[in-house]
Chain A
């Protein structure tokens, strides 16, 4: 896991599993002794509207959990990209699901990561796993953490009783990592 101070905004439609992949990152951070925080947007917008969460993974105790200028952005729909693209600090990372966002990432001072996660998920018959595929790709390209570390985060975020769900999620992040 890289030892930078990472401020990550994850955003998309409600129901895409945005809050969950944020929790996976925070859980992975916690499993490897980082300071972490996870702050969701909440309220009526949780259903159907835009959902986002802010995750910090750091070596230092975390001040404000409310991220304004992230160094990493994961966007799963167009409104989210438009809302947060300009807030990313120069040198940062922006990852998008290119099957849902057809426009280009216009920022030239960040590392752009695009993967048709929803399409891959559909092709593989794992419709609900686009978020995990995007997450795997993002983690690999940004060097945020290793695949094993990410999988530890997945393990910590899935209820112990749901082994099938765990396997699907492992497979999805691996897919993202490999593509």
Chain B
């Protein structure tokens, strides 16, 4: 018998977070991530932790700010409209250098949009969302097992670099069930820095700590922003994750992340059977973006096709990475419509013309 269990993405993420020693969850209900909060409500108290349903997404993210500032391993989760509300708080969290995990189970937008799967929050996740010079590390799992494995890593990355980390899935990943094992979820890496900055009371033994993002002197603020930018550079060097599949002999390469990458894999199977030499680069970290592998690959392939559940957001980063070395085309469905392999294949054939 297998030691794996069948779990929904939302629930598996919650279980992984608890196993990764997260003991504080602040949230607000929204489809399609609600099972995550419900699971937390059930299991957190049993793990000696706290689940709190806040009065709004705004309050929830600011509770995360307070708890993170107090030194806790803490998270929140939501879906697109809720993430817009949390974006103010995320900017403050980034500005105060606080570690935390934010989960976005993306649904169609803008506005209330819909509740079906989408990837149209890529810009928001990777280019800011909130105001100011900051980034979140953004992880984009493509399976329930990967959700579980990345959840543990997400907390470690957050603690290591004192940064908010986002796990971005889509409604399909949140709702679907796949077999998972939790054996690889760590309880926190042993080499994580101590949280000497936390506001847990001076106990009259140290100078006071201040959690803050306000610096009225431009030179002071610039210094801090540049120091943070240095950290982003280290993150770019050390934390890039991607999957490259069948790219060695590929003449054309698909670029897709999350659920979409799985659909593209089906298309690739068909195209390979027809004799097309095609491969896939699947960014797992959306920030830092796997620029290097894309730049290298762009130099030796005839073209790239970026597929997203949006009107084309990640494709901007793919084009920047390719830097003109090869054409980068785009195919997408949006509004909650999931692309099917046949239309991806058709789009690919249109791009390559008769070139096999």
- A residues apposed to B, CB below 8 Å: 23, 26-27, 30-31, 33, 35-40, 42-43, 62-66, 68, 156
The answer to whether A43 and B265 have CB atoms under 8 Å apart is: no
Contacting residues, chain A, for B172 (C-beta < 8 A): 39, 65-66
Q: Are A64 and B341 in contact (CB under 8 A)?
A: yes
A30 near B31 with CB under 8 A, answer no
Q: Which residues of B contact A27 (CB under 8 A)?
A: 6
Q: Are A43 and B2 touching (Cβ within 8 A)? A: no
What residue in chain B is nearest A26 (Cβ atoms)? B6
Q: How many A-B pairs fall under 8 Å by CB?
A: 65
Residues in chain A near residue B269, CB distance under 8 A: 63
- B263–A37 contact, CB under 8 A? no
| Pair A42/B32 contact, Cβ less than 8 Å | yes
Q: In the complex, which residue of chain A has the Cβ closest to the Cβ of B177?
A: A38
> Of A30, A40, A63, A65, which contacts B6 at CB under 8 A?
A30
Asked whether B160 is an interface residue with its Cβ less than 8 Å from the other chain, the reply is no
**B244 CB → nearest A CB, Å:** 16
CA–CA, A66 and B116, complex, Å: 13
Q: Do the beta carbons of B1 and A66 come within 8 Å of each other?
A: no
Closest residue on chain B to residue A37 by CB atoms: B178
Known contacts A26-B177, A42-B32, A43-B31; 5 additional CB pairs below 8 A are A38-B176, A38-B178, A63-B269, A66-B263, A156-B6
Asked whether B262 lies within 8 Å of A40 as measured between CB atoms, the reply is no
Judge if B301 is at the interface, Cβ distance under 8 Å.
Answer: no
Bound form: Cα–Cα A64–B266 in Å: 6
Instruction: Check A40/B176 contact, CB under 8 A, given A63-B262, A64-B262.
Output: yes
Instruction: Please tell me if the beta carbons of A33 and B263 are within 8 angstroms of each other in the complex.
Output: no
With a cutoff of 8 Å between Cβ atoms, the chain B residues found around residue A66 in the complex are: 172, 259, 263, 338, 340
Shortest C-beta distance, A10 to chain B (Å), equals: 13
Contacting pair B177 A37 (CB below 8 A): yes
B4 contacts across to A, CB distance below 8 A: 30
| Chain A residues, CB < 8 A from B338 | 66
Q: List 30 A-B contacts (CB under 8 A).
A: A26-B177, A27-B6, A30-B179, A31-B1, A31-B2, A33-B2, A36-B178, A36-B179, A37-B176, A37-B178, A38-B176, A38-B177, A39-B172, A39-B176, A42-B32, A42-B115, A43-B32, A43-B115, A43-B116, A62-B178, A63-B262, A63-B263, A63-B266, A65-B172, A65-B178, A65-B259, A66-B259, A68-B340, A68-B341, A68-B342
- Least distance between B262 CB and chain A CB atoms (Å): 5
In the complex, the answer to whether A38 meets B262 with C-beta atoms within 8 Å is no
Q: Does B279 count as interface, using CB distance less than 8 angstroms?
A: no
With the chains together, A63 CA to B271 CA distance in Å?
14
What 10 pairs across the A-B complex have the smallest Cβ distances?
Answer: A63-B265, A38-B177, A64-B263, A39-B176, A63-B266, A64-B266, A68-B340, A64-B262, A43-B115, A30-B179
Q: Within the assembled complex, what's the spacing in Å between the Cα atoms of A38 and B172?
A: 10
Most A CB within 10 A of own CB, among B31, B178, B259, B340? B178
Minimum CB distance partner of A35 in chain B: B179
- Cβ of A112 to closest chain B Cβ, rounded Å: 26
Q: Mark B1-33, 1 if CB is under 8 A from A, else 0.
A: 110101000000000000000000000000110
CB-defined interface of B274-305 with A at 8 Å, one 1/0 digit per residue? 00000000000000000000000000000000
A64 contacts across to B, CB distance below 8 A: 259, 262-263, 265-266, 341
Q: How far is the CB of A152 from chain B (nearest CB, A)?
A: 9
**Complex Cα–Cα for A65 and B177 (A):** 10
Contacts of B175 in A (CB 8 A): 39-40, 42
- Chain B contacts of A35 at CB under 8 A? 179
Q: Complex Cα distance A40/B4, Å?
A: 20
Residue of B nearest to A42 (CB): B175
* Chain A contacts for B263, CB-based, 8 A: 63-64, 66
- Chain A nearest Cβ from B117, distance in angstroms: 9
In chain B, residues 305-356, which have Cβ atoms closer than 8 Å to a Cβ of chain A?
338, 340-342
Chain A residues with Cβ below 8 Å from B259 are 64-66
Chain A residues closer than 8 Å to B116, beta-carbon distance:
43
Closest to A22 in B: B177
| CB neighbours of A23 from chain B (8 A) | 6, 177
User: Are B340 and A38 in contact, CB atoms less than 8 angstroms apart?
Assistant: no
**CA of A26 to CA of B342, assembled, Å:** 26
B171 contacts the other chain (CB 8 A): yes
Tell me if B342 and A38 are in contact (CB < 8 A): no
Report chain A residues within 8 Å CB of B32: 42-43
Who on chain B is nearest to A27 by CB? B6
CB distance from A6 to the nearest CB of B (A): 15
The docked-state distance in angstroms from the alpha carbon of A156 to that of B2 is: 12
Q: Report the bound CA distance from A65 to B143 in whole Å.
A: 10
By the criterion CB–CB under 8 Å, are A42 and B177 in contact?
no
Q: Report A-chain residues with C-beta under 8 Å of the C-beta of B177.
A: 23, 26, 37-39
